[in-house]
Amino acid sequence: MASPIQHASEASHSRPILPVLEREKLILSGRSYHWITARICGVLENQQPLLWWLLFIPSALIAAIGVGGGLFYLVSTGVGVWGNTNRVMWGWPIVNFVFWIGIGHAGTLISAILFLTRQNWRTSINRAAEAMTIFAVMCAGIFPAFHVGRVWMAWFLAPVPNANAIWQNFKSPLLWDVFAVSTYFTVSLIFWFLGMVPDLATIRDRCQPGIRKIIYGILSLGWRGGNRQWSHYEMAYLLLAALSTPLVLSVHSVVSFDFATSVVPGWHTTIFPPYFVAGAIFGGFAMVLTIMVPARFIYGLQDLITMKHIDNMAKIILLTGTIVGYAYLMELFVAFYSGAIYEMDAFKFRIAGPYWWAYAAMMTCNVIAPQVFWSRACRENLWVVMIVAMFVNVGMWFERFVIIVTTLARSWLPGDWKTYAPSAADQILFIGTIGFFLSLFLLFLRFLPCINIAEVKWAKRESDPHYEDHVEHPDPGVIKEPAYQHELAQLSAQKPAIGNLEPQLSIPQ
């Protein structure tokens, strides 16, 4: 390859030379298509590492005891075992519902919004993030379904005629929520599955004849990868992205309507929908990092999920965290500016009341902790990234706790004031959903392709059908400046980061 400087000097007499930042490589070390296939399929074809079992067995046990046992105890005894009271009637179950549904937002954001905005770096992380969405929404769904009190009557939420001849109240945000969350789950599932069909076909074609091949064959629907299929498929993917983009924004907006439409100090504000959506994306990306940083390390996916991906996610966390911080402060300002004593008291109670520690935890974890990502050194240090992501996970839970519990614990009448505490049943069920989420994700890693194989191949530069033409006719008027990765390579040569343990693997034929 000719040196770029040489080209520049040849062309200098004709026109000014413009420095152009070279586009990032999304796949490092020049991996071949076959390497990509083999490495991603290897995750599910090879024996799982010991760590997988060490994580899966406790997660599955926690899920069985927490969700299975917890719900059995709840249903057989009654919802009185939860810590909810007449006043704090939502309590932990709805805190956990909003927490999980928020986590479910990053997946569709990565799949849909970053697809429409042509952010090609999404290809390496979208599959796992979408899986995370599905599992988080499953965890979220448990809480409202059982919070209705008599779970065997949860079908009353569906718009079908029931024994009382009363129809659902379509004017209620709670019913909007039922529609929003179930639509979100269904469309996310379609998106996830359709995106996976070509990759399931890849796995099918690598299987020896047998039961595995039959199962993956059925799941892949007989996909052949012909352009007459790809053409419709790409259109379907684009349409789903276009449909999911407003959907993902609507879901947490509708969740926020549950609060914002009730005339309760601290809830009745117009800032809630954007504030909830930003918070959901914020918490969702933190969970993607929490899961993907260890997974890329365990399965040796460093060339596919590069430091650039982590850097981008850290920046999104910084941005959305700052938006959330702005919303927290704006809430305070509006409470002050409204001159309404109840509104002001609600916020005074949040900050300095008996739940001050929850407010402080929320502020520290969500607003202060992500600010370290202004520094590039912090975004490149995976330990810092993991610790901040954990802070955000915790902080976002506390945000929902602050919104729900501190508001409900102080209603209009002082006679109603009460301090809320969760019961053991609340805590067991919440911990159980964490185990449920982790075990589903580990099963996903075990049985399904965790990175979008077809899209990662597409993101290679050689995949452009005009790539070879470009190579033959380089633009002589351009100096290519080395991309971020060159600098990063120099940086990691000086002090090896944990993520770069394996970039020198030989390229298989």
Q: Which of residues 223-242 bind another protein (CB under 8 A)?
A: 223-236, 239-240
Residue 393 Cβ vs another protein, minimum distance, rounded to whole Å: 28
Of the pair 137, 254, the CB lying nearest another protein is at: 254
Which 41-100 positions form the footprint of another protein (CB under 8 A)? none
Q: In the set 172, 338, 375, 490, which binds another protein (CB under 8 A)? A: 172
Tally of CB atoms within 10 A around 21 = 10
Q: In the set 57, 221, 341, 505, which binds another protein (CB under 8 A)? A: 221
Q: In the set 4, 217, 273, 279, which binds another protein (CB under 8 A)? A: 217
Q: One symbol per residue from 175 to 194: x for binding another protein (CB under 8 A), - otherwise; what is it?
A: xx--xx-xx--xx--xx--x
Torsion angles phi and psi, residue 21, rounded to 5: -70, 125
Stretch that binds another protein, among 133-141, 217-225, 285-293, 366-374 (CB under 8 A): 217-225
Stretch that binds another protein, among 172-180, 337-345, 346-354, 413-421 (CB under 8 A): 172-180
Which 138-157 positions form the footprint of another protein (CB under 8 A)? none
Q: How far apart are CA 70 and CA 63, in angstroms?
A: 9
Which 444-483 positions form the footprint of another protein (CB under 8 A)? 453-455, 457-458, 462-469
Residue 181 Cβ vs another protein, minimum distance, rounded to whole Å: 9
Q: How far apart are CA 52 and CA 442, in angstroms?
A: 7
> Long-range contacts: 341-349, Cβ < 8 Å, 24+?
342/265, 342/412, 343/265, 343/266, 345/265, 345/410, 346/265, 346/266, 346/406, 346/407, 346/410, 347/266, 349/406, 349/410
Stretch that binds another protein, among 43-51, 62-70, 203-211, 323-331 (CB under 8 A): 203-211
Is position 198 an interface residue for another protein (rule: CB under 8 A)?
yes
Q: How far apart are CA 30 and CA 33, in angstroms?
A: 10
Which 367-426 positions form the footprint of another protein (CB under 8 A)? none
Axis-axis angle for helices 227-260, 272-298 (nearest 10):
130
Provide the phi-psi class of 400: left if phi over 0, else alpha when psi is between -120 and 50, else beta.
Answer: alpha
Is position 210 an interface residue for another protein (rule: CB under 8 A)?
no
Of the pair 18, 235, the CB lying nearest another protein is at: 235
Tally of residues, the chain: 509
Is the dihedral angle over the CA atoms 299, 301, 302, 307 positive or is it negative? Answer: negative
CA angle 331, 395, 341 (to 5 degrees): 25
> What tokens appear for 219 in the block?
């799941």
Residue 21: strand pairing partners:
481
Instruction: Tell me the site size for another protein, rule CB under 8 A.
Output: 71
Of the pair 210, 465, the CB lying nearest another protein is at: 465
Of the pair 135, 223, the CB lying nearest another protein is at: 223
Residue 20: strand pairing partners:
480
Stretch that binds another protein, among 167-175, 285-293, 359-367, 403-411 (CB under 8 A): 167-175
> What tokens appear for 341 in the block?
């004593």
Q: How many CA atoms lie within 13 A of 331 on its CB side?
A: 26
Q: In the set 205, 480, 484, 492, which binds another protein (CB under 8 A)? A: 205
DSSP 148-213: TS-GGGGGGGSSS--TT-----TT-HHHHHHHHHHHHHHHHHHHHHHHHHHHHHHHHHHSPTTHHH
Residue 458 Cβ vs another protein, minimum distance, rounded to whole Å: 4
Of the pair 464, 487, the CB lying nearest another protein is at: 464
Q: How far apart are CA 138 and CA 111, in angstroms?
A: 19
Of the pair 253, 439, the CB lying nearest another protein is at: 253
Q: One symbol per residue from 9 to 48: x for binding another protein (CB under 8 A), - otherwise; what is it?
A: -----------------------xxx--x-----------
Residue 134 Cβ vs another protein, minimum distance, rounded to whole Å: 14
Q: How far apart are CA 410 and CA 422, in angstroms?
A: 17
Residue 42 Cβ vs another protein, minimum distance, rounded to whole Å: 13
The enclosing H or E element of 119 equals none
Of the pair 183, 381, the CB lying nearest another protein is at: 183
Which 251-290 positions form the footprint of another protein (CB under 8 A)? 254, 257
**CA-wise closest residue to 26 among 96, 118, 95, 102:** 118
Is position 352 an interface residue for another protein (rule: CB under 8 A)?
no
Of the pair 52, 193, the CB lying nearest another protein is at: 193
